[in-house]
Amino acid sequence: MKEPIRQFIFKALFFIALILLLDTGIGGLLNHFYFTQKAGDDYRATYAIENAREQVIILGASRASHQYLPEIIEKRLKMSCFNTGRDGASIFYSYGILKALSSRYRPELIILDFSRDFEKKQNSYDRLAMLAPYYHRHPEIKPIIEIRSKYEKFKMYSGIYPFNSYLFSIAQRNTNYNIENLKDVKGYTPLFRKWNRPADNDSSFLKYDIDSSKVEIYKSIIKECNGSRVNLVIVAAPFFNNAKTEDISTKLAKQIAVQYHVPFFDFSKDSSFRNKPEYFADISHLNDEGARKFTNLVLDSIINSPALWKH
Amino acid sequence: MVFTSIPFFLFLLAVLLLYYILPVNLRKYLLIFASLLFYGASGPEYLFLVLFVILFNYFVAAGIDKSPGKKARSVYLYASLAVNIGILVFYKYLSFILGNFALLLGLFQESPEIPLLKLALPLGISYYTFQNIGYIIDVYRGTQKAEKSVVNFSLFVLFFPKLNVGPIERARNLLPQISAEKTFSTVDLVEGSKRILWGFFKKLVVADRIAIYVDAVFVNYQYHGGLTMLLAILLYTLQVYADFSGYTDIALGTARLFGFRLMENFNHPLLSKNVSDFWRRWHISLSSWVNDYLYNPISLKRRYWGNWGIYYALFISFTIIGIWHGATWNYILFGVLQSLALIYETSTRKFRKKISRKIPVQAYNGLSILFTYLFISFALILFKTPTPGQALDILRSLSYPSGELSIDRASMILFLLIGCSILIISDYKSEYKLFSLPDRLGKSWVAQQFAYAFMLIYILIAGVFDGGQFIYFQF
């Protein structure tokens, strides 16, 4: 009996050692190649977190990434600009980017795209995985990544876990395979297709619960900007929908913005885009033509805003 | 406590250590305590309910055992059925029944005043109710002795690996194992761990990966083309299979760590050649339960009806399987659809056999598997949608112009393809015993350690760690 138990313990220890070795080795490789990507979302996130020094920074999710053109902003404001928006991101991600930027320099202007960001949904937390590769390199965003779950800090002991689900994108973006399709213009990733269905009147999607953690993060973004004397504007971009009900997130976000004296420009029901499918790629995103028009409208509001440029 | 969560892992580790440290006579008490803790962690409010159910069924079975006359035994049986089914109906079906009653009354009066109840479903109630009913019927039939020890019977109902999502255990399988003395076995530990790892693979790498795609498509079905919808429908079947069989693997593996062997619940159902075959391989603990306690007694009682007796038994049995899954019209329709397919298969058996002789065996088998998969996939639309109307909308969306296949990221599809391929190849390999590793490699412990280490590493690389609850928890 003693011999099998001894053997069992030996085999178990061997297995554990093997796992640790593989986890450290493969994790190290993933870590190396993650930061040598040549294009795509991760490349842009790394640039935003580690290198960006532009005067104007755009924060948000896909509706930021596809709808604000840095080249127009640079031309009209005569300032350098970078769009950090990322598909599938949430307000937690925007806060993470802001924390990383603030630890390095002070941008002149931050444009936060607000897209019903207070909706309670689990995948906003899941998608904090986008920041996981930076967990060990950027202590300033650790607390934000740990919002994902109370066990996140323990999971981060694994070498591979921060790069979970990244294997193929890392492989693709370290080679030249299909890399042209991933290219951006200072973070802006245009959509060229045109929407071809009529606008919906349905407002059922506007009924949802508010996530108080997201509201707190929104307030933290405002406080962080106000505290470090960065000009902040918050923008709600248009949707291709004719629902009459006002979105509860946008309503609350506006109230908070007023409370903290931050300009909030609401284009969510702007007549320039109402019933104009030619400006949209889908119901939530403007196409390139729409994005150009929209960026100019946002800039008109920024330039004419008396609340800005106090700092 | 979800099987794939860190709290469950810590809980399992602690219980396992204590289990093998404690003297043998205390181990059952530890498992009962751990099971109560496990159940209480998900919903402490229903602990008293499950304790009541245990004591009630324990005494009913003892009553049946002691009663000499058939009449007295029947009284105990019907009392038990009334209480067990009554509790299940109260928690699971009452709001559905009242809601439909209100709708019906609404046809005749303007605003019917029917109190609508919204009760939280006690976890595992469908599983332990069926397990208890099976036990009581076995004792009534005399095929099972009533358990004398209330401790053993409590563990039979509560044993945490199978408490929430089954398998729906049989007394003849589990009770003798509970009574037997358990000794420490490294084989059990190793085999149990392997099974758990395979379950994790199925759940995290296959089911939850597919779920990302399928959920995204089903939520916005009106914006997707027919081709994308078809892919989502076909993938959903794989998702449900990987999710439920993954859960079962973790449950069976966990039980094995403590020296228990729970009954198998799946036998490569996606390789079934017809719907009857499918139900012999899918959720075996439920389908065999229905076979033993519903289908056989009904078809025996109606044997004078000839084939109609069989059709009748099939219709009742599968409608009940549908209802067991939940209190919605979709589940009822799902059951009815299955029964109709089975009636068709039963009535055309000879004709189909004749056709099969004219077609090469491999082609016939391949087509049979394909048609069965398609039938099950389309039937499962009823699982994925809340109302029959929405299920029809999904079917209608198949006729939308195909357009481009909606693929968010190539990497997502690659992960999905690899996971699904490993699962299908593994099933195919064990079904047809096609190839095996050379003996020297297959039996080498170093090779095995590397194989399982790579599987664990692949789970870390490709698993979806935020997928959440198992699909069958809702039933």
Q: Is residue B129 a contact partner of residue B289, using CB atoms and an 8 Å limit?
A: no
Structure tokens at B46: 């229903």
Axis crossing angle, helix B150-158 with helix B171-179, rounded to the nearest 10: 120
Q: Can you point out the beta strands (E) in chain A? A: 56-59, 81-83, 109-113, 231-236, 264-266
> Residue A193 above 60 pLDDT?
yes
Phi and psi, residue B151, nearest 5°? -65, -45
Question: 10 Å Cβ neighbour count for B384?
Answer: 20
Cα–Cα distance measured from residue A54 to residue A230, given in angstroms and rounded to the nearest whole number: 13
Interface membership of B468 toward A (CB under 8 Å): yes
Tell me how many residue pairs between chain A and chain B have CB atoms under 8 A apart. Answer: 69
Query: Minimal Cα distance from B409: which residue of A?
Result: A169
Residue bearing the bigger pLDDT, B348 or B166:
B348
Residue B164 — pLDDT band, cuts 50, 70, 90? confident
Mean pLDDT (chain A) is 90
Task: Nearest by CB to B457, from A22, A129, A154: name it.
Answer: A22
Q: What is the pLDDT of residue A114?
A: 95
> Residue B473 above 60 pLDDT?
no
Contacts of B445 in chain A (CB under 8 A): 11
Q: What is the ipTM of this complex?
A: 0.84
- Quick check: B223 and A15 CB within 8 A? no
- Quick check: B461 and A163 CB within 8 A? yes
Task: Over range B265-269, report the average pLDDT.
Answer: 95
Cα–Cα distance measured from residue B303 to residue A270, given in angstroms and rounded to the nearest whole number: 72
Q: What is the pLDDT of residue A266?
A: 93
Contacts of A7 in chain B (CB under 8 A): 186
- Tens digit of each residue's pLDDT (9 = 90 or more) over B372-383: 999 999 999 998
Q: What is the pLDDT of residue A198?
A: 77
Query: Minimal Cα distance from B222: which residue of A?
Result: A197
Residue bearing the bigger pLDDT, B333 or A5:
B333
Contacts of A15 in chain B (CB under 8 A): 449, 452-453
Axis crossing angle, helix B47-66 with helix B70-88, rounded to the nearest 10: 170
Residue A104 Cα distances to A60, A138, A154, A222, B239, angstroms: 20, 11, 27, 18, 45
Interface membership of B409 toward A (CB under 8 Å): yes
- Quick check: A18 and B468 CB within 8 A? no
Residue bearing the bigger pLDDT, B460 or A306:
B460
> Residue A132 above 90 pLDDT?
yes
Cα–Cα distance measured from residue A268 to residue A251, given in angstroms and rounded to the nearest whole number: 11
How far is B473 from chain A, CA to nearest CA, in Å?
18
Cα–Cα distance measured from residue B232 to residue B253, given in angstroms and rounded to the nearest whole number: 30
Residue B474 — pLDDT band, cuts 50, 70, 90? low
Cα–Cα distance measured from residue A203 to residue A220, given in angstroms and rounded to the nearest whole number: 30
- Quick check: A165 and B186 CB within 8 A? no
Query: Minimal Cα distance from A152: which residue of B?
Result: B6
A113: helix, coil or strand? strand
Mean pLDDT (chain B) is 89
Q: What is the pLDDT of residue B33?
A: 96
Name the nearest CA neighbour of A294 among A118, A117, A115. Answer: A115
The answer to whether residue B268 is catalytic is no
Phi and psi, residue A265, nearest 5°? -105, 115
> Residue B240 above 70 pLDDT?
yes
> Residue A182 above 80 pLDDT?
no
Task: Nearest by CB to B461, from A129, A164, A172: name it.
Answer: A164
Q: What is the pLDDT of residue A107?
A: 94
Sheet holding A231-236, edge to edge: A81-83, A56-59, A109-113, A231-236, A264-266
- Quick check: A122 and B466 CB within 8 A? yes
Residue B465 — pLDDT band, cuts 50, 70, 90? confident
Residue B424 — pLDDT band, cuts 50, 70, 90? very high
> Residue B311 above 60 pLDDT?
yes
- Tens digit of each residue's pLDDT (9 = 90 or more) over A66-123: 999 999 999 999 999 999 999 989 999 999 999 999 999 999 999 999 998 899 988 8
- Quick check: A160 and B463 CB within 8 A? no
- Tens digit of each residue's pLDDT (9 = 90 or more) over A23-69: 999 999 999 999 998 888 899 999 999 999 999 999 999 999 999 99
Task: Over range A236-255, report the average pLDDT.
Answer: 89
Q: What is the pLDDT of residue B116?
A: 57
Query: Minimal Cα distance from B188: which residue of A?
Result: A8
